[in-house]
Structure 1
Amino acid sequence: MQVQSLFITATGTNVGKTYTTLKLIEAFASRGLKVGVFKPIETGVTDTLPDASLLLKACRKVNKNFKDLTPQDITAYTFPLPAAPFCADINKEIVIDKIIEKYHELAQLCDILLVEGAGGLLVPITKDFMMIDLAQKLRSKVLLVTPSRLGCINDTLLSQEALKSRNIEFDWCVNLFEDKEDFSEVTKPFYDEIFPEWWGVREGIQSFISSY
């Protein structure tokens, strides 16, 4: 069986990709699937890998094939500078083929591989290869996580347009954690009118994964 993959991205940084991926690990595992995780690039790394460590800890609980792996095993590159990969990679070490090889290596250990990107879709990995290019090269379906803060309508629509321009299959959801008190008044009316089937991370994941 060909392993399915889901690329989790967002409209920008600190929107909730890791939180959403953790929820997805639990949800897919509850359906009896062996879930794997891959964090291709993590920046802002010192002694530990914050995101990769959280993802691996959750994955170990539901997939024995990941029990002996380390956070470094589920990443291809890590850098200390908290910046876009292109900027963090001061020695220009990144080779896209290495990321692809790591993806295929981890895919052998699971039924579905969750790939968590860095930042948003147009974050540069190299000078001419963006995060959206990686999602496309992996032929993954994309889950776009959007915030709930003021201004998120614009961010959401711009990211959707980018995905549509590449003919990438995607779904999207709202991580409702910022400006929650105002969301129902300043944002939700538009989503309800234009996207009546929009969903939130906390209450909509089980319905989303039912298609897998």
Structure 2
Amino acid sequence: MQVRSLFITATGTNIGKTHTTVQLIEAFAAKGLSVGVFKPIETGVSTLPHDASLLLKVCQKVNKNFKNLNPEDITAYTFPLPAAPFCADIHQEIVLEKIIKKYHELSQLCDILLVEGAGGLLVPVTKDFMMIDLAKKLKAKVLLVTPSRLGCINDTLLSMEALNSRNMGFEWCVNLFEDKESFSEVTQPFYDEVFPDWWSVEAGIQRFISTY
């Protein structure tokens, strides 16, 4: 059976990809699926990769195949500089084949592999290869996480346009965090009108995973 994969991306950095991925790990596991995690690239790493460490810790609670892995085992590259991978990779170390190989290795350990991207869709991995290209190369279904802050409609629509321009199927959700109190007035009316089936990380995860 071919392992299913889900690429979790966002409209930018600090939107809630890791928070969302944690919720997905727990939800898929509760459904009875063996779930794994992969953080291809993490920047801003001084010692241990923070996001990869958190994701692995949660994953190890529900998948015995990940019990003996270290955070470095679920990443392909880490860099000290908190920047886009291309900029953080000052020695030009990134080789795409290494990321693909790691993806296939981790896929052997689960029914569904959750892949958390770095930053947003058009964050450069190399000078001519973006995060959105990685999602497409992996042939993964995409989940776009969007913020709830003022201005998020523009960010959301631009990210959707990027995905649609590459003919990539995707789902999207809102992480209700920033400007949460004003969201229902300044943003939600548009979503309700144009995307009546939109959902939030807080309220829609179960409905989303029911499609798997």
Give the alignment's TM-score, normalised by structure 2.
Answer: 1.00
- The answer to whether structure 1 residue 156 and structure 2 residue 190 are counterparts is no
Alignment of 1:45-194 (within 5 A): 45-194=45-194
Rounded to whole Å, the distance in 2 between the matches of 1:11 and 1:197 is 19
The CA deviation at 1:47 is 1.1
**How many residue pairs align between the two structures?**
212
* Structure 2 stretches lacking a partner, 5+ long: none
Runs of 4+ that moved beyond 4 A? none
Rounded to whole Å, the distance in 2 between the matches of 1:68 and 1:183 is 42
Rounded to whole Å, the distance in 2 between the matches of 1:192 and 1:23 is 24
The CA deviation at 1:181 is 1.1
* Structure 1 stretches lacking a partner, 5+ long: none
Q: 1:198 maps to which residue? A: 198
Q: 1:3 maps to which residue? A: 3
* Secondary structure in structure 1 of the residue aligned to 2:36: strand
Q: Which amino acid aligns with 1:112?
A: I
Give the alignment's TM-score, normalised by structure 1.
Answer: 1.00
Deviations 1:143-175 (A, max 9, x none): 000000000000000000000011111000000
Deviations 1:157-206 (A, max 9, x none): 00000000111110000000000111011000000000000000011000
Deviations 1:115-151 (A, max 9, x none): 0000000000000000000000000000000000000
* Secondary structure in structure 2 of the residue aligned to 1:76: strand
Q: Which amino acid aligns with 2:46?
A: T
* Secondary structure in structure 1 of the residue aligned to 2:119: strand
Among the aligned pairs, what percent are the same residue?
Answer: 80
Pairwise CA RMSD of aligned residues? 0.3
The CA deviation at 1:84 is 0.1
Q: 1:21 maps to which residue? A: 21
